[in-house]
A = this chain, B = another copy of it.
Amino acid sequence: MRAIEIFPNTDNQANLQLHADGSLRHLLTLEGLDRSLLVDLLDDAERFVTPPGRAAARSHSLVGRTVANLFFEPSTRTRASFDLAAKRLGADVLNLDVNTSSRKKGESILDTIYTLQAMQVDILVVRDASAGVPAYIARHVNDYVSILNAGEADTSHPTQGLLDLLTIRQRKGRFKDLIVAIVGDIRHSRVARSAAQGLQTLGIGELRLISPPPLAPDPDAFPHASIIDNLDAGLRGADVVMALRIQRERIGSLDGIPGIDEYFANYGISTDRMKGAAPDAIIMHPGPMNRGIEIESALADSPASAITQQVANGVAVRMAVLERVCKAMELR
């Protein structure tokens, strides 16, 4: 693993993300984006959802545009999702899996970006293990390039947040009064951060973050959530339960949790544990799942599971974001 680099702080990303008229220029984080913009994106995405067995949604709105997937961190699922989203909108797609070992300092990231910009890439989809990289890039590109964050350190994964919001809206029909419980390695989770930011903006009833104490987040990172270490207490009456992926290596370092079986017994979500949640509660997971560790396999495949729906919504949400930043560019 390479050392984590230090990038300028990421204050005021919300402003950085918007054109002067309020339209979306970059998607770096859900933090600070206002409610109407989030709802517009979810409504756009809804148009790109088609039922299984029907043709995938397509449009020509990115014909003549170039999308580059610049992944400094390996990914199969998210890269595939952006790749398909861009192709189904008619874009030319350039896939670049860049070995970060050849990347020593901020300058050389920018030179890669300037090169792609000179090649008239319109949209850069960036995944990086260092916090601040997408915003750093967004500050340096010219007026005709949009940056989409496809996963940034432990900090942010805004398209994942959007697909989670869309899935909840489809399954629950509302956000108001919902109790949402996120379970697992909250401390290191960009998925939890982006979901929490979006849910806060859309206005749910209660957000609970459940984890072993060593994996609990800094409370400042989640100002409106309650932090809980008892799973049953946290799940009580929850409408939405979101299990997070945990790195197996991390389990061994947890007090009183010597192995996978103990982790599952204490923090794994099972059909049995879900009995404490609301009767029609749904279970979500960002994937890829460790079945039998953070989630019981049968539960993942049960009617309560929204997991494959999340994946389908992922393509739809990315199509919506790609289309929206392209349209905003054309207005200028």
Contact = CB atoms under 8 A, between A and B. Distances in A.
A52 B143 CA distance: 9
A309 B118 contact: yes
A68 to B, nearest CB: 8
Interface in A142-177: 142-144
A115 interface: yes
Contacts of A297: 107
Given A84-B92, A119-B315, A308-B117, A56 B50 contact: no
B76 A96 contact: yes
B64 A55 contact: yes
A270 interface: no
Given A76-B98, A80-B96, A52 B144 contact: yes
Q: How large is the interface on A (under 10, 10 to 19, 20 to 34, 35 or more residues)?
A: 35 or more
Contacts of A115: 77, 80, 287-288, 308, 311
A313 to B, nearest CB: 9
Given A56-B64, A80-B96, 15 more contacts: A52-B120, A52-B144, A55-B64, A66-B84, A68-B80, A80-B94, A84-B121, A87-B92, A88-B92, A107-B297, A111-B291, A112-B288, A114-B308, A115-B311, A118-B311
Give the one of A98, A108, A311 with max B CB within 10 A: A311
A47 interface: no
Q: 10 smallest A-B Cβ distances: which pairs? A: A118-B311, A56-B120, A118-B308, A87-B92, A53-B144, A118-B312, A115-B311, A119-B315, A55-B64, A107-B291
30 contacts: A52-B120, A52-B142, A53-B142, A53-B144, A56-B64, A56-B66, A56-B120, A66-B84, A66-B88, A68-B80, A76-B96, A76-B112, A77-B115, A80-B94, A80-B119, A81-B119, A84-B119, A84-B120, A107-B297, A108-B291, A111-B287, A112-B288, A114-B308, A115-B287, A115-B308, A118-B309, A118-B312, A119-B312, A119-B314, A119-B315
B117 A288 contact: no
Contacts of A83: 94
Contacts of A315: 119-120
